[in-house]
Chain A
Amino acid sequence: MANRIVIDPITRIEGHLRVEAEIKDGKVVNAYCSSTMIRGMEKIVENRDPRDVWAFVQRTCGVCTTVHAIASIRSVEDALGIVIPPNAELARNIITTSQAMQDHVIHFYHLHALDWVDITQVLNADPKATSELAQSISKWHNSSPGYFSDVKTRIKKFVDSGQLGIFAKGYWGHSAMKLPAEVNLLAVAHYLEALEWQKEIIKIHTILGGKNPHPHFLVGGMASAINVSDAGGLNIERLAYVSKLLKDAHKFINEVYIPDLLAIASFYKDWGAIGGNKFNNYLSYGDLPTGNYGDIDTYKWPQGVILNGDLTKVHPVDLENTNEIQEFINKSWYDYPDGKEKGLHPWEGETNINYTGPKPPFNHLDVDKEYSFIKTPRWQGKPMEVGPLSRMLIGYVKGIPEYKEVVDYALTTLDVPVGALLSTLGRTAARGLESKLLADWGLEFFDQLINNIKNGDTRMASTEKWDPSTWPAEAKGVGYMEAPRGGLAHWIKIKDTKTEKYQMVVPTTWNAGPRDPKGQMSAYESALIDTPVADPDNPVEILRTIHSFDPCLACAVHLYDEQGKNISQVNIGGACSI
């Protein structure tokens, strides 16, 4: 008989996630992931001005705070046939690039590291040995014995104070923690440094979008006009600020993040054989156009699908083909008019909430019935994993030199085979390796922007179709982008200048969805199978695999009701929970 454990809340994520896992003989044999919160974003944007929708849907996630806004403005631009100026494309690329770098660093140090790093072991570290270690792997300036001694002193006094705050009841002393004391000290020192750095890099968003979290965006381009000869726009001071922040990011990622990642990974190589999804399908919509968004061959992040772990072929993706991407609700708290077994393409999608879970407070979900507010997307009926691992694999399989270079470098350094990528370790490593590429690309995009300005092109927005009187009576579009956590797309239908219908399929929907009508698991559940659990009361191993996806749950849950009447039909008396 398997032992069912519940982890709720999963912390160090965005949103509300619950995992119920069955443990037998020290391993996960079955798992159910549930999103336990809903807001109804898609319903709320109905009848709104399509030029405003970005602001609403941006609030689906404040961690990857730019991505929904970009997908939204792209969907409107696609529907209305707006082609934005090259400078606006570059400015958006710089925003996406800096967002992904910041998000990946926060994920590694502040959300994921405490699954691998034992902060209490810092007390046993030798600062001099830590300094030698740090200097052997990086030329980062904060590396003296005195520096590490100060950090150790600070942590010691913190622990001695007895108030552990956010570190209370962590997984300290767990048998799965394998790092030498000195690596723990190195990681904790950089936990603190990364906390300072992350608030710097996002100033790029403040310059180009006015604030962060939740910078502003514009259908048709960017509102941050370029003007290097008059006050009021992006002048050379503003541009130099962006340049400095991109250079600092390049340095931090290459001298802190990557060396730490490889140092920590070298003690956890066994996790290169744990936590891969069992279906081995990987999807990327692609993003970061170096030419035009409409020309996918110019993307830095390539588009495509890898099927069944076949690392020799990349299949094409068509987001407009109603037979390719479909969402299922057979295990979700929604109804479709034609029954619960049929999938719907997002342009035809609709979601009438029907909560049938247990009434809170509850101990367990009834997983034989519906058990999540997340729908289950499939590509040609198949489950897909999305995220940095998918992007790195697709770039690698396509033989793109810069992808080959960083992936082969990591595989050689860690002395692991390419198959080790398809794992918890591989997912975490891919996020870092991608950051290394992003650090280079950010500088490239900036140079292109400066070159354009030098050549006299200062256009930042296309306003010919700003006025709704220029729009067709009906239009539909899809806007996609690659968020830090994976492929993100919004589908919009516009009618009489208003938003008629809106659907979002987000990275965590792909990864965290419940089972589909064929019983196929999505990536989270599939990846958890066979994960070892030494102590069911302290299941840090489950957190390792779940966190390796960088869960983002509010994104994954939203409600759409085409008729606008089913909201009130929710069975309040009967069920409600999750």
Chain B
Amino acid sequence: MKKTLKKEDTYYENIIKKGYSRRDFMKFATVMTAFMGYESSMVSQVVNALETKKRIPVIWEHFQECTGCSESFIRSDHPLVADLILDTISLDYTDTLMAASGHNAEEAKQESMKENYGKYILIVEGAIPTKNEGYCTIAGRSAVEVLKESAAGAAAILAFGSCSSWGGVQAAHPNPTGSVPVDAIIKNKPIIRVPGCPPISEVMAGVVVHYATFGTLPDLDSMNRPKQFYGKRVHDSCYRRPNFDAGLFAETYDSEEAKKGYCLYKAGCRGPVTYNACGTMEWNNGVSFPIKSGYPCIGCSENNFWDNGPFTERLTNVPGMGIEATADKVGKIVLGTAVAGAAVHAVATNIAKRKEIRDAEKRGEQNEQNIKA
């Protein structure tokens, strides 16, 4: 059944067509405004944008991935997001959900990319192997070739997840397939990193809607991450932070300290070097996040976090410890290289913590040697 685009509906028209009320639409706009970090006075501008902007086609490519980012995306929880993100954007190609397979699926993609050349959003899930073209093929074509073709007509690229943002788990030592992130292949397009393993559902939705609404990329930090979601360390937004400041730590699991919700820094928590919205938004519509459920953060949104281990060992190099930090302030010294060992940029708030860091440093260096060995 071949259907061609008759006319491009606005978001508002589309929503009303789908049977939603004006009130539903206003609620959605309000929620998205809050997500995007704007004052409530901006709601009317978001509404205006959604009412007048055209729908944007989306092509979603899957390379070396686990589909966890797609799974997270469909968890998007606020009233209209689950329906609207799928419908508001026109999701013209995705391995995970589309009805057609094989040549039917590929034709649908080609038609959309041709018709919407220069206008569609390309979402990339997964890393790209470079050691051998045969390590990831789709329809008999290599991942590199498919990515280059899809990127050519994209208005912008969203790198969803730590794999397309940084390389991810397959790029961890020894990176057997030579996996690289999107920006190692594509140099001439705006690429927004939305890292996380996977990213929080509403963060993914928020980035898409920001672009669809304002027609601009969200405000990005120096690593091309949207500041509104990645501007704060988990440590600085963690509800257990007062325990850290008071020197109250849980060192073993299921201990009295663990049961009281003490700080997990000594159990290896990566909150102090991890920029993400887990502490502020929490997961699955604000239910919890790893630290709240008793597990140290493993830093899954950071570059090279897989090799910043073992996760069971406390951090050895924590810059800005004890003060509010943003990614740009702390800069590139730390990110992804927290076990680099040599330079300690710790500014601990009390002597006890400084000693903790000193003691742990040696173990961290040893760990690094072990991994490299």
* Residues of chain A at the chain B interface (Cβ within 8 Å): 6-16, 18, 36-41, 43-44, 47-49, 51-52, 55-56, 59-63, 65, 110, 114, 119-120, 150, 153-154, 157-173, 192, 195-196, 198-199, 202-203, 206-214, 216, 218, 220-227, 230-233, 241, 333, 353, 355, 357, 359-363, 459-461, 463, 466, 498, 537-539, 543, 554, 559, 561, 564, 567, 570, 572, 575-578
Given contacts A51-B310, A164-B3, A361-B145, contact A225 B131 (CB under 8 A): no
Are B253 and A218 in contact, with the CB atoms below 8 A? yes
In the bound complex, CA of A159 to CA of B99 (Å): 14
Contact with A along B154-183 (1 / 0, CB 8 A): 000000000000001110111111010000
Residue B320 interfacial (CB < 8 Å): no
Are B95 and A9 in contact, with the CB atoms below 8 A? yes
Residue B97 interfacial (CB < 8 Å): yes
Residue B249 interfacial (CB < 8 Å): no
Residue B187 interfacial (CB < 8 Å): no
Given contacts A195-B74, A227-B260, A461-B253, contact A210 B132 (CB under 8 A): no
The CB with the most chain A CB atoms within 10 A, among B64, B68, B83, B197, is that of B68
Residue B136 interfacial (CB < 8 Å): yes
- The secondary-structure label for the interface of chain A is loop
Contact with A along B1-21 (1 / 0, CB 8 A): 111111101000010011100
Query: A44 touches which one: B77, B169, B259 (CB < 8 A)?
Result: B169
Are B371 and A47 in contact, with the CB atoms below 8 A? yes
Are B260 and A232 in contact, with the CB atoms below 8 A? yes
Given contacts A202-B75, A211-B284, contact A169 B107 (CB under 8 A): yes
In the bound complex, CA of A227 to CA of B91 (Å): 45
Are A195 and B69 in contact, with the CB atoms below 8 A? no
Are A466 and B253 in contact, with the CB atoms below 8 A? yes
What are the residues of chain A within 8 A of B175 when measuring CB–CB? 44
Are A212 and B102 in contact, with the CB atoms below 8 A? no
Are B99 and A171 in contact, with the CB atoms below 8 A? yes
Are B176 and A361 in contact, with the CB atoms below 8 A? no
Are A163 and B90 in contact, with the CB atoms below 8 A? yes
What are the residues of chain B within 8 A of A208 when measuring CB–CB? 293
Closest to A216 in B: B295
In the bound complex, CA of A171 to CA of B101 (Å): 9
In the bound complex, CA of A216 to CA of B284 (Å): 14
Are B254 and A225 in contact, with the CB atoms below 8 A? yes
Query: A554 touches which one: B57, B65, B75, B77 (CB < 8 A)?
Result: B65
Are B101 and A7 in contact, with the CB atoms below 8 A? yes
The CB with the most chain A CB atoms within 10 A, among B67, B68, B100, B300, is that of B100
Are A232 and B142 in contact, with the CB atoms below 8 A? no
Are B283 and A211 in contact, with the CB atoms below 8 A? yes
What are the residues of chain A within 8 A of B105 when measuring CB–CB? 9, 11, 169
Q: Nearest Cβ in chain A — how far from B175, in angstroms?
A: 8
Residue B82 interfacial (CB < 8 Å): yes
Given contacts A43-B176, A44-B173, A210-B293, contact A12 B97 (CB under 8 A): yes
Query: B169 touches which one: A41, A63, A164 (CB < 8 A)?
Result: A41
Are B19 and A157 in contact, with the CB atoms below 8 A? yes
Query: A114 touches which one: B99, B131, B174 (CB < 8 A)?
Result: B99
Given contacts A51-B310, A355-B132, A564-B174, contact A154 B19 (CB under 8 A): yes
A-B pairs under 8 A by CB, number: 362
In the bound complex, CA of A119 to CA of B1 (Å): 12
Q: Nearest Cβ in chain A — how far from B282, in angstroms?
A: 8
Query: A199 touches which one: B94, B138, B284, B295 (CB < 8 A)?
Result: B284
The CB with the most chain B CB atoms within 10 A, among A65, A168, A218, A461, is that of A168
Q: Nearest Cβ in chain A — how far from B71, in angstroms?
A: 5
Are B259 and A227 in contact, with the CB atoms below 8 A? yes
What are the residues of chain B within 8 A of A8 when measuring CB–CB? 102, 138-140
Residue B134 interfacial (CB < 8 Å): yes
Closest to B66 in A: A62
Are B133 and A576 in contact, with the CB atoms below 8 A? yes
Closest to B100 in A: A169
What are the residues of chain A within 8 A of B64 when measuring CB–CB? 37, 39
* Residues of chain B at the chain A interface (Cβ within 8 Å): 1-7, 9, 14, 17-19, 55, 57, 62-72, 74-77, 82-83, 86-87, 90-92, 94-108, 112, 129, 131-142, 145, 168-170, 172-177, 179, 197-198, 201, 252-255, 258-262, 278, 283-285, 287-295, 298, 300, 306, 309-312, 370-371, 373
Are B261 and A158 in contact, with the CB atoms below 8 A? no
Q: Nearest Cβ in chain A — how far from B295, in angstroms?
A: 4
Are B68 and A62 in contact, with the CB atoms below 8 A? yes
Q: Nearest Cβ in chain A — how far from B95, in angstroms?
A: 5
Q: Nearest Cβ in chain A — how far from B77, in angstroms?
A: 6
Given contacts A44-B174, A570-B131, contact A59 B68 (CB under 8 A): yes
Q: Nearest Cβ in chain B — how far from A451, in angstroms?
A: 19
Q: Nearest Cβ in chain B — how far from A15, in angstroms?
A: 7
Q: Nearest Cβ in chain A — how far from B200, in angstroms?
A: 8
Closest to B179 in A: A39
11 CB contacts below 8 A, A to B, read A8-B140, A62-B65, A114-B99, A172-B1, A199-B201, A202-B75, A211-B289, A213-B198, A360-B140, A361-B141, A576-B134
In the bound complex, CA of A543 to CA of B105 (Å): 13
In the bound complex, CA of A154 to CA of B100 (Å): 21
Are A463 and B254 in contact, with the CB atoms below 8 A? yes
Given A62-B67, A210-B295, output 4 extra A-B contacts at Cβ < 8 Å: A44-B175, A158-B17, A169-B2, A196-B82
Are B293 and A47 in contact, with the CB atoms below 8 A? no
What are the residues of chain B within 8 A of A158 when measuring CB–CB? 17-18, 87
What are the residues of chain A within 8 A of B98 when measuring CB–CB? 11-12, 166-168, 170
Query: A210 touches which one: B139, B261, B290, B309 (CB < 8 A)?
Result: B290
Closest to B101 in A: A11
Are B92 and A165 in contact, with the CB atoms below 8 A? yes
In the bound complex, CA of A55 to CA of B198 (Å): 12
Q: Nearest Cβ in chain B — how far from A162, in angstroms?
A: 4
In the bound complex, CA of A36 to CA of B87 (Å): 30
Closest to A570 in B: B132
Closest to A45 in B: B172
In the bound complex, CA of A356 to CA of B336 (Å): 36
The CB with the most chain B CB atoms within 10 A, among A55, A196, A232, A538, is that of A232
Q: Nearest Cβ in chain B — how far from A568, in angstroms?
A: 8
Q: Nearest Cβ in chain B — how far from A351, in angstroms?
A: 11
Closest to B252 in A: A463
Are B108 and A169 in contact, with the CB atoms below 8 A? yes
In the bound complex, CA of A36 to CA of B177 (Å): 13
What are the residues of chain A within 8 A of B198 when measuring CB–CB? 62, 213-214
Are A463 and B253 in contact, with the CB atoms below 8 A? yes
In the bound complex, CA of A362 to CA of B310 (Å): 42
The CB with the most chain A CB atoms within 10 A, among B136, B173, B291, B294, is that of B294
Are B68 and A213 in contact, with the CB atoms below 8 A? yes
What are the residues of chain B within 8 A of A567 when measuring CB–CB? 131, 174, 176
Are B90 and A61 in contact, with the CB atoms below 8 A? no
Query: B292 touches which one: A40, A210, A214, A498 (CB < 8 A)?
Result: A210
What are the residues of chain A within 8 A of B3 when measuring CB–CB? 159, 162-164, 168
What are the residues of chain A within 8 A of B197 when measuring CB–CB? 59, 214
Q: Nearest Cβ in chain A — how far from B286, in angstroms?
A: 9
Are B294 and A233 in contact, with the CB atoms below 8 A? yes
Are A572 and B100 in contact, with the CB atoms below 8 A? no
Closest to A60 in B: B66
What are the residues of chain A within 8 A of B82 when measuring CB–CB? 195-196, 199
What are the residues of chain A within 8 A of B134 when measuring CB–CB? 333, 355, 357, 359-360, 575-578
Q: Nearest Cβ in chain B — how far from A245, in angstroms?
A: 10
In the bound complex, CA of A363 to CA of B136 (Å): 15
Closest to B65 in A: A554
Q: Nearest Cβ in chain B — how far from A357, in angstroms?
A: 6
In the bound complex, CA of A480 to CA of B99 (Å): 33
Given contacts A48-B371, A62-B198, A169-B104, contact A40 B177 (CB under 8 A): yes
Q: Nearest Cβ in chain B — how far from A494, in angstroms?
A: 13
Are A225 and B290 in contact, with the CB atoms below 8 A? no
What are the residues of chain B within 8 A of A213 when measuring CB–CB? 68, 71-72, 75, 198
Closest to A567 in B: B176
Closest to B134 in A: A576
